[in-house]
Structure 1
Amino acid sequence: MTTTVIPPAVRPPAGPAHRDGNVLRWLGAYTASMIGDNVFYIALSWAAVRSGTPSQAGLVMAVSAVPRALLMLGGGVVADRFGPRRVVIGSDAVRCAAVLTVAALLFVAHPGLWLLALLAVVFGIVDAVFMPAVGALPARVTRRDQLARVQGMRGLAVRFANVVGAPLGGLGVALGGSATAFALAGLLIAVSVPLLISVRMRETPPAGGANTAPAGAEAVGPPGDPDGSPDGLPARGDASGPHARVPDAEDGAAAVPERPATAWRDLRDGLRYIRGHRVLAPLIVTIALGDLGFVGPLNVGLALLADRRGWGASGMGLVVAAFGAGAGAAALLLAWRGTLPRAGSAGAAALLGGSVAIGALAQVPGVGAAVGVALAIGLLAGLSGALCGALLQTQSDPAYLGRVTAVAGIVSLGLAPLSMPLTAAAIGWWGTGPVFAGSAVVCGLGGVVALAVRDLRRAELPR
C-alpha cells in the first residue's frame, strides 16, 4: 500500500504586502515587464516611421489592438484553466523571444514594414492572454486583506514604468537605432521571467469562497508548484479544469464526474458568473462608463485644447505631468493605507469628483489653472480606478478572476479607445467645451451607477 504524504499548508506572511518578499519579486517582475513594454513601443514607432509613410506607421502601431480585443475573452479562459503564473511566464518568454529576434534581424538587414507589422500582431495575440493573467495574479501572491495595497503598488509600478520607459527607449534609439532599442526591450522583459519563476502561488480556494474565507487563512502550495496543486494538477476548488468534478450534496459522498469542461463552456460560465454577481456586474458598468468618459478628453482632447488655448507643447506637457503626479499620489495613498473605508462609496465619489474636474478643464483660461485641475483629475480618477481594481480583485472568486479581468480589459482596452477618434471629430464640430462637458457626464454616470446599486455602494475592502 502506497502512502501519499501531503506537505503541510504554508500560511502567508502576516506582515503587509510591501514587506513580503514574494510580493516584491512579483512586483519587480511586473515593473521590468512594463518598462520593457514602454521601450518596445518607442522602438516600434521609431522603426515604423523610418520604414514607411506616417499612415503606414500608424497602421503598424494600431494593428496589435485587433487580436488583443478579439481574443482577450479567450485569454481569460486560458488564465483560469492553466493558472495565471504559467500564462504570464509563457507570455513574457514569447514576447522576449519575438523582440530579440526582430532586433537581431534589424542589426543585419532592413526587412521593412512587414516584419514590424508581424511583430505587432504577435504582441497583440500574446497580450490577449497576458493581460487577463496579469490581472488575476495578485490574488494568488498575497492575502485578500493585502490586495488593495498590492493594487496601489501596481499603480506605482505603472507610473514608474511610464516615466522611465520612454527615456530609455529614446536612449536606445539614440545609441544604436531601433535594433538597439528592441534589444533593450527584450532584455527588460527577460528580467521578469526568473523573478516570476521564484514567486510562490497560493492555493485557489474552493469556488464560491472568495468572500467567505477569513483573511490570512488561505493556504499556499509548495514553493516549486506554480498553482498550489501537486504534480501540475488543477488546484483544489478549481472547477474549470478539463476533468473537474462536483461533489454530491451529502458531505463525504463520492464525487460525480461532470462532462469534460471545454473552453467555450468555461467562457459562458464566466460571463454567467459576472452577469449574476451583485457587485461585479455593476462594477464593470461603472468602469466602462468611467473609461469611456475619461480616455477621449485626456488623450486626444487635451492636445486639441492646448492647441486652441495656445499653451504649446510645453504647457500640454505640464498638464500631462500634473495628471500623472495626481494618479501616482492616489496609488501611493492606497499602497500606504492598504484599504479605505466604504470603498464602493469612496470610489463612486472620486469618480463623480473627477468627472466634474474633466468638465472644468475645458473652461480654465491659463496653463497654471489647467495644471491644478489636471492634478485633481489624476488624484480622483487614480483613486477611483485603484479602488475599482481592488474591488474587482477582492469580490471575484479566484477561479473566475482571469475571465473577470478579461471582460474589464475589453472594456478599457477595446471600447474606451474608440472614444478617441469620436472625441476628435466632435471637437471639430462643437468645440472643446461641449465635448468635455459631455464626456464628464458619461464619466459621472459611472459614479451614479455605483451609488445607485446598493451592493456596490456598500462594498468594502477586506482589512
Structure 2
Amino acid sequence: MQAHRDPNVRRWLTAYTCSMLGDSVYYLALSWAAVRAGTPAQAGLVMSVSAVPRAVLMLGGGVIADRFGPRRVVVGSDAMRCAAVLAVAALLCLTSPGLWPLALLALVFGTVDAVFIPAVGALPARVTGPDQLARVQGMRGLAIRFASVVGAPLGGLGVAVGGAPAAFALAGALIAVSVPLLLSVRIRELPGGADGPRGTARADLAAGLRHIRRHRVLAPLMLSIALGDLGFVGPLNVGLTLLADHRGWGATGMGWVLAGFGVGAGAASLLLTVRGRLPRAGLLSGVALLAGSFAVGALAFAPTLWVAVGTALLVGLLTGLSGALCGAVLQTQADPAYLGRVTAVSSLISLGLTPLSMPVAAAAIGLWGVGPVYLVSACVCGLGGVVPLVVPALRRAELPR
C-alpha cells in the first residue's frame, strides 16, 4: 500500500506534525518569555542553552533509540517535553520567577532532543516498507514546512491571548496529542529478527560508528551530507541577514527570500510524496546538490530582490530534493538494528556541527564581503554534490521498488 494511503502512516504523520507544531510554538514562547524577563543578551543565552546537551549527547541518544526501540523513545521523549513545558506554563501563571526556569526548560529540551531526534529519524523505517521510505521522507518534509509556517502564528496567538504561559500551555497540548497517536501506530519488526544493541553503551556506539565507516554507501553519504550542510547553512542563515542588510532589502525582503526557499523545499517534498520513488537516487542527489550549489553562489549576486527570491526558490528545490533523497538512501542502506545510531551521526552533523559555521561565515563576510564568502560556501556545498558522482557505490545507490 502506498504510504499516503496507509492509515498507520497517516497516524504517524499526524503525531509527528503535532509534535513539530508544539516545537514551533515552544520556541516562540521561550524567546518571548526570555526577552520579557531579561536583557537581549540574556535572552540569547537562554535560547542557545539547549544546543550544548543536544550536540554532546546526540550519539548516545542513537544508542538509546536502537536499544529500546524508536517508538518507545519518541513517546517517552514527547511525554517528558510535554510535562516540562506545562510545568513552566503553570509556574509562570503563579509567579514571575525570572530567567532560571526558562534556562532550565531549554536545558531539559536540549537533553531530551538528543534522544528524540535519532529516534524520530529511525521511526519511519519501522512504520512502512522500504519501497515507501522516499514517499515518507517527502511527507515528513511537508510536515516540517507546515509546522514552520503555522507554528509561529499559533504561538503568536497564544502570546496575544494569555502571554507566555498560554503559549507554553498550547505547545504542551500539541505535543501531548502526539503521544496517544504514536501509541496507536503499528511497528514493523526488524528484518530477520534483528535485535537492538546488547553490549555496553560505549561498545554499542563504537559498533555503530564502525558500521558507518565500513559501509560502502553510508560513509561517503555522511561526507556528502556534511559538505552540503557546511556550505549551505552559513549563506542561508546569518549570511542572508547580512546580504539583505547590504542590499537594503530589510527584514521584509529577507522574509520574502526565506519564503522562496521554503516554497522550493516544500515543492521538493511534494514531488517525493507524489512520486514515491525517483530512479538512481544516489546519482540524482549528487546532481541536485551540485546544481543547488551554483544557485547558492548566485544568490549573492542577484540584481534585485525578486531575482533573489527566485534563486532562493531554486536553492530550496534542489537542496531539498537532495536532502530528502539522502535521507531515504540512508534509511534503506543502514542495517535497521543500527538505524538510530546512523541517524544520530547524520543529525549531529546537520544540527550540531555545521551550525558552528555561522559565526565563521559572519566574520568572513565582515572581512571580505558577501560575494567571496558565498562563492566559497557554494564550492564547499558543490563538493558535497561531487562525492556521490565520484564514489561508485553511492552513485549507483537505488531506492527499493
Q: TM-score, normalised by structure 1?
A: 0.86
Q: Which residue is equivalent to 2:126?
A: 140
Contact map agreement 2:54 2:111 (CA 8 A) in 1: yes
- Separation in 1, partners of 2:180, 2:40: 38
> CA contact under 8 A between 2:302 and 2:308: conserved in structure 1?
yes
Task: Check the 8 A contact 1:348/1:447 in 2, yes or no.
Answer: yes
Match of 2:393 in 1: 455
Structure 2: give runs of 5+ residues left out of the alignment.
none
Q: Aligned to 1:361, which of 291, 296, 299?
A: 299
Q: Specify the code of the residue in structure 1 equivalent to 2:170.
A: L
Q: For the residues of structure 1 that align with 2:153 and 2:354, how far apart are their CA atoms?
A: 27
1:430 aligns with 2:368: yes
Contact 2:68 2:196 in 1 (8 A): no
Task: State the alpha-carbon separation in 2 of the partners of residues 388 and 295 from structure 1.
Answer: 17
Q: What per-residue deviation string (whole Å, max 9, x for no partner) do you get for residues 146-191 of structure 1? A: 0000000000000000000011111111111111000000000000
Partner of 2:144: 158
Q: C-alpha displacement at 1:364, in angstroms?
A: 1.1
What amino acid is the match of 2:337? Answer: A
Q: How does 1:211-226 map to 2 (within 5 A)?
A: none
SS of 2:191 mapped into structure 1 = coil
Alignment of 1:118 onto 2:104: yes
For 1:361 and 1:239, the matched residues in 2 are separated by 45
What does 1:290-329 correspond to in 2, within 5 Å?
Answer: 290-329=228-267
Cα deviation digits, residues 251-276 of structure 1 (max 9, x gap): xxxxxxxxxx1111111100000100
The residue that corresponds to 2:68 in the other structure is 82
Question: For structure 1, which runs of at least 5 residues remain unmatched after alignment?
Answer: 1-14, 207-235, 243-260
Structure showing greater radius of gyration is 1
Q: Is the 8 A contact 2:12 2:185 kept in 1?
A: yes
C-alpha displacement at 1:239, in angstroms?
Answer: 5.0
The CA deviation at 1:378 is 0.6
Q: Verify the 8 A CA contact 1:344 1:458 in the aligned structure 2.
A: yes
Q: Give the drift of 1:313.
A: 1.6
Q: Identify the residue that residue 109 of structure 1 maps to in structure 2.
A: 95
1:127-163 C-alpha deviation (Å, 9 max, x unpaired): 0000000000000000000000000000000000000
2:379 aligned partner: 441
Residue 45 of structure 2, aligned match among 29, 52, 59: 59
**Aligned: 1:24 with 2:10:** yes
Work out the CA distance in 2 between the residues paired with 1:319 and 1:355.
16
**Runs of 4+ displaced beyond 6 Å:** none
Q: Percent identity?
A: 75
What is the identity, as a one-letter code, of the residue corresponding to 2:14? G
**Could you tell me whether the CA contact under 8 Å between 1:140 and 1:202 is conserved in 2?**
yes
Q: What is the aligned counterpart of 1:171 among 143, 146, 157?
A: 157
Preserved CA contact (<8 Å) 1:309 1:365: no
CA distance in 2, matches of 1:80, 1:302: 38
**Count of aligned residue pairs for this structure pair:** 401
Deviation at 1:315, TM superposition (A): 1.3
In the aligned structure 2, how far is the partner of 1:347 from the partner of 1:34?
26
- 3-state SS in 1 of match to 2:224: helix
CA distance in 2, matches of 1:310, 1:365: 12
| Matches of 1:54 and 1:310, distance apart in 2 | 24
Q: Which residue in 2 is equivalent to 1:284? A: 222
Higher-RCO chain (CA-CA 8 Å, sequence separation at least 6): 2
Is 1:346 the counterpart of 2:346 in the alignment?
no
Structure in which a larger fraction of residues adopt helix: 2
